[in-house]
């Protein structure tokens, strides 16, 4: 679905991302792992159009793309669901799901409210998350419900790749469950997911592939089943697994 | 245990009713403003013989038409998360330009009216550009503009009023009476209210105004050009100021250089009392017009009750503060 090749990002003298190449495969959940400062956010921001790479290229469905803004990324089907959720608290679920993409009729003169409601209903239909109502402000909803709304918007806007930054942080246990279910639902629906998380239990539950960064470089790009919990921790902290065989695989 | 209870409770009829109540409460700001206005209306009707008469009520509506139209425009600015202190001063400047132009153009007040509406849109739009592009808080931008506009009005008029503009047709359009009863100014206010409601509730622009004022970063992240939305909100307000200015010029057959002085406070009061928060993201045109009605009833009531008119600004200020305190208190409850 998405491939980055030799991606580098420098801020002045600081190199945040150095020569990163990686694949995000279609219909799979990829976890982006790394300690604080490993370059996860910088990489994600280049994938969703917020930062321009200093060097290297981004490829979507086999074509090289240039993104200057989040809007460009959106047009390519890449949407990010941020930690701070990016919902408009005072507005209801329906508006939040169509945020920035309000449908109109009669030559753009009037908002098509019926279509807006249908868009919201469709986007939420394959998620198990239950919302109290589509017509109340999202400020009155729980963290998990708000995540569901934010993710539904990502899908409604034609998202082929949904990027989630710490989607389960600061949520209660039940709410975390809800978000992980949403990730499963997304994959079942054929949507690719890139998830940033420090919670390895969650990562091991939902991810198919792991992409591990350390010091701005890729130290591993592996399938979840190929590594153990401990090896992942060592990769994140030291840049190498305990296992020598795996080290070869990582180097390749 | 408690988790299970929550799950069960969510499916009972009582819970459904509870959800409806929550939804109603979320929309209740408008309702509570209307109830407050009704209470004032009943109180004034009972406590004076002169309030509840056709003549007084029509006069009251005519008096609030100026504040009402201006406040409809300001509502857009407030919902987009900005504030405008310059509407009164801009009104004075545009009215002066309108009258002066009408004289220059040998009484072509229609041409002058078009010019001031366009000029209002441009000048107010500049407020928006300075606020968004130079990142100056709109409070400061429009405070500066207030002073500039007031000064420009004095420079232009040399402090002298313009009077004696004769155009009977124009005057009947802006200050006549429909069917000999309803003042034209009230029709203009209702038209501004309908147009404003259409823009705010039925256009993509309106939705984006709410999104921009509610969470600017969220709006930006989904590709809304929040700067443009804010600038357009200022432009809508400028158009309303332009319309109000030609109504005043036609109504009074001229203009006084003091026109609009201090009016911004009443306009802001109407917007805030009407349930449009100080922090953006919520509000309504209907609420604003009811807010204007409350402001009007305070003025009208003080006169009818024989209260010293010097107390009127005190009453206005008190009501603004109360409205803001209630707004913030309601926010904290959520």
What ranges do the domains of chain A cover? 2-77+162-251, 89-158
Number of CB pairs, chain A paired with chain B, less than 8 A apart: 86
> Above 0.90 for ipTM, yes or no?
no
Question: For residue A89, is pLDDT > 60?
Answer: yes
Element (DSSP H or E) covering residue A51 = none
Helix (H), strand (E) counts: chain A:
9, 12
Give the three-state DSSP class for A73: helix
Residue A86 to residue B223, Cβ atoms within 8 A: no
pLDDT band at A85 (very low <50, low <70, confident <90, very high): low
Instruction: Please tell me which residue, B189 or A165, carries the higher pLDDT value.
Output: B189
pLDDT band at A243 (very low <50, low <70, confident <90, very high): low
Tell me which residue of B299, B291, B300, B284 sits closest to B323, measured CA to CA.
Answer: B291
Residue B221 to residue A110, Cβ atoms within 8 A: no
Among the residue ranges A134-138, B182-186, B327-331, the one predicted with the least confidence is B327-331
Q: Is residue B16 part of a domain?
A: no
CA dist., res. B284 & res. A180, Å (int)? 38
What CATH number is given to the structural domain containing B80? 1.10.3470
Interface of A with B in 107-136 (CB under 8 A): 108-111, 130, 132-133, 135-136
Q: Is residue B7 part of a domain?
A: no
User: How confident is the model over A97-107, as pLDDT tens digits?
Assistant: 999 889 999 98
- Placement of tokens 């069960």 in the chain: B8
CA dist., res. A183 & res. A193, Å (int)? 7
Q: What is the dihedral of CA B71, B76, B81, B83, to 10 degrees?
A: -30
- Placement of tokens 């009208």 in the chain: B300
Residue B222 to residue A87, Cβ atoms within 8 A: no
Residue count (chain B):
334
Arithmetic mean of pLDDT, A210-231: 88
Contact A149, A155 (CB under 8 A): no
CA dist., res. B274 & res. B295, Å (int)? 10
Look over chain A and give the mean of its residue pLDDT values, rounded to a whole number.
85
Question: For residue B234, is pLDDT > 80?
Answer: yes
CA B35 from chain center: how many Å? 19
Work out the minimum CA distance from A101 to partner chain B, whole angstroms: 8
Work out the minimum CA distance from A9 to partner chain B, whole angstroms: 21
Question: For residue B10, is pLDDT > 50?
Answer: no
In terms of Cβ atoms closer than 10 Å to its own Cβ (0-12, 13-18, 19+), residue B23 is: middle
Arithmetic mean of pLDDT, B187-193: 97
CA dist., res. A187 & res. B302, Å (int)? 67
Q: Is residue B53 part of a domain?
A: yes
Cα(first)–Cα(last) distance of chain A, in Å? 21
CA dist., res. B36 & res. A161, Å (int)? 50
Q: Is residue B133 part of a domain?
A: yes
Q: Is residue B12 part of a domain?
A: no
User: How confident is the model over A110-131, as pLDDT tens digits?
Assistant: 999 999 999 999 888 877 777 8
Arithmetic mean of pLDDT, B212-226: 90
Arithmetic mean of pLDDT, A53-69: 88
Chain B residues near residue A100 by CB distance under 8 angstroms: 208, 211, 219, 222-224
Domain residues for B322?
A: 35-333
Domain spanning A2-77+162-251: which superfamily?
Answer: P-loop containing nucleotide triphosphate hydrolases (3.40.50.300)
Q: Is residue B30 part of a domain?
A: no
CA angle B159, B160, B165 (to 5 degrees): 140
Q: What is the pLDDT of residue A92?
A: 93
User: How confident is the model over B32-69, as pLDDT tens digits?
Assistant: 788 888 988 999 999 988 899 988 999 999 999 999 99
Tell me which residue of B100, B76, B57, B79 sits closest to B241, measured CA to CA.
Answer: B76
Element (DSSP H or E) covering residue B244 = helix B226-252
Question: For residue B21, is pLDDT > 70?
Answer: no
Instruction: Please tell me which residue, A74 or B96, carries the higher pLDDT value.
Output: B96
pLDDT band at B324 (very low <50, low <70, confident <90, very high): confident
User: How confident is the model over A13-28, as pLDDT tens digits?
Assistant: 888 888 888 989 888 9
Arithmetic mean of pLDDT, B274-281: 87
Question: For residue B273, is pLDDT > 50?
Answer: yes
In terms of Cβ atoms closer than 10 Å to its own Cβ (0-12, 13-18, 19+), residue A81 is: buried
Q: Is residue B4 part of a domain?
A: no
User: What is the total count of domains within chain B?
Assistant: 1
| A194 backbone dihedrals φ, ψ, rounded to 5° | -115, 120
Q: What is the dihedral of CA B102, B106, B110, B115, to 10 degrees?
A: -50
Work out the minimum CA distance from B202 to partner chain A, whole angstroms: 5
Instruction: Please tell me which residue, A80 or B263, carries the higher pLDDT value.
Output: B263
Look over chain B and give the mean of its residue pLDDT values, rounded to a whole number.
88
Instruction: Please tell me which residue, A207 or B10, carries the higher pLDDT value.
Output: A207
Question: For residue B75, is pLDDT > 90?
Answer: yes
Chain A residues near residue B24 by CB distance under 8 angstroms: none
Instruction: Report the 10 Å Cβ neighbour count for A60.
Output: 19
pLDDT band at A145 (very low <50, low <70, confident <90, very high): confident
Give the three-state DSSP class for A157: coil
Instruction: Please tell me which residue, B109 or B241, carries the higher pLDDT value.
Output: B241
Chain B residues near residue A71 by CB distance under 8 angstroms: 223
Give the three-state DSSP class for A197: coil
Arithmetic mean of pLDDT, B211-218: 93
Structure tokens at B324: 């803001």
Question: For residue B205, is pLDDT > 90?
Answer: yes
Q: Is residue B226 part of a domain?
A: yes
Instruction: Please tell me which residue, B238 or A236, carries the higher pLDDT value.
Output: B238
Chain B residues near residue A84 by CB distance under 8 angstroms: 217
Q: What is the pLDDT of residue B5?
A: 37
Identity of the residue in A88, A132, A157 whose CB atom sits nearest the CB atom of B214: A88
CA dist., res. B276 & res. B78, Å (int)? 7
Structure tokens at A188: 């079942």
Q: What is the pLDDT of residue A194?
A: 93
Q: What is the pLDDT of residue B181?
A: 84
| CB-based contact, A100 to chain B, within 8 Å | yes
Instruction: Report the 10 Å Cβ neighbour count for B262.
Output: 11
- The reply to whether the predicted model has a pTM over 0.95 is no
How far CA A124 is from CA of A133, A145, A156, B272, in Å, comes to 12, 11, 9, 36
């Amino acid at each position: 679905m998405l491939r980055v090749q030799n991606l580098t990002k420098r801020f002045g003298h600081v190199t945040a991302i150095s020569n990163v190449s990686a694949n995000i495969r279609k219909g799979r959940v990829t976890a982006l792992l790394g300690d604080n400062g490993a370059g996860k956010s910088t990489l994600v921001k280049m994938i969703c159009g917020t930062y321009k790479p200093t060097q290297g290229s981004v490829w979507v469905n086999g074509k090289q793309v240039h993104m200057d803004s989040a809007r460009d990324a959106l047009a390519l089907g890449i949407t990010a669901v941020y930690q701070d959720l990016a919902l408009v608290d005072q507005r209801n679920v329906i508006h939040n799901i169509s945020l920035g993409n309000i449908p109109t009729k009669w030559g753009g003169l009037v908002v098509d409210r019926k279509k807006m409601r249908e868009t919201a209903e469709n986007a939420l239909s394959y998620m198990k998350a239950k919302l109290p109502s589509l017509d109340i402000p999202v400020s009155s909803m729980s963290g998990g419900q708000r995540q569901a709304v934010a993710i539904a918007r990502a899908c409604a806007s034609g998202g082929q790749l949904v990027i989630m930054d710490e989607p389960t942080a600061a949520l209660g246990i039940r709410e975390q469950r809800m978000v992980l279910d949403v990730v499963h639902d997304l994959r079942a629906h054929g949507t690719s997911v890139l998830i940033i998380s420090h919670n390895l239990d969650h990562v091991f539950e939902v991810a198919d592939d792991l992409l591990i960064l350390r010091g701005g470089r890729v130290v591993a790009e592996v399938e979840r089943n190929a590594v153990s919990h401990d090896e992942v921790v060592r990769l994140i902290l030291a840049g190498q697994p305990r296992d020598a065989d795996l080290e070869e695989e990582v180097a390749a | 245990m408690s988790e299970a209870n929550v799950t069960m409770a969510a499916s009972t009829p009582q819970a459904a009713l509870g959800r409806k109540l929550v939804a109603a409460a979320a929309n209740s700001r408008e309702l509570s403003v209307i109830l407050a206005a009704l209470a004032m209306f009943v109180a004034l009707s009972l406590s004076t013989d002169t309030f509840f008469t056709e003549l007084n009520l029509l006069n009251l509506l005519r008096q609030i038409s100026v504040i009402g139209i201006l406040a409809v425009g300001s509502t857009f600015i407030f919902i987009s998360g900005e504030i405008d202190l310059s509407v009164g001063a801009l009104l004075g400047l545009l009215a002066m330009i309108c009258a002066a132009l009408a004289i220059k153009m040998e009484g072509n007040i229609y041409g002058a009216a078009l010019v001031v509406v366009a000029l209002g849109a441009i000048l107010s739009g500049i407020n928006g550009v300075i606020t968004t592009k130079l990142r100056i808080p709109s409070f400061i931008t429009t405070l500066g503009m207030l002073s500039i506009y007031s000064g420009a009005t004095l420079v232009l008029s040399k402090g002298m009023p313009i009077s004696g503009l004769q155009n009977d047709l124009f005057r009947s359009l802006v200050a006549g009476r429909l069917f000999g009863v309803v003042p034209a100014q009230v029709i203009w206010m209702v038209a501004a209210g309908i147009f404003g409601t259409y823009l705010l509730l039925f256009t993509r622009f309106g939705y984006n105004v709410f999104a921009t004022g509610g969470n600017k970063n969220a709006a930006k992240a989904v590709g809304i050009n929040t700067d443009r939305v804010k600038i357009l909100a200022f432009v809508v307000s400028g158009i309303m100021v332009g319309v109000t200015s030609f109504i005043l010029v036609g109504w009074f057959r001229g203009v006084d250089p003091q026109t609009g002085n201090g009016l911004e406070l009443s306009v802001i009061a109407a917007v805030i009392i009407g349930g449009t928060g100080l922090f953006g993201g919520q509000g309504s045109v209907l609420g604003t017009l009811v807010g204007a009605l409350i402001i009007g009833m305070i003025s009208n009531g003080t006169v009818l009750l024989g209260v010293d008119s010097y107390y009127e600004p005190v009453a206005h200020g008190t009501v603004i503060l109360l409205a803001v305190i209630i707004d913030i208190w309601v926010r904290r409850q959520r």
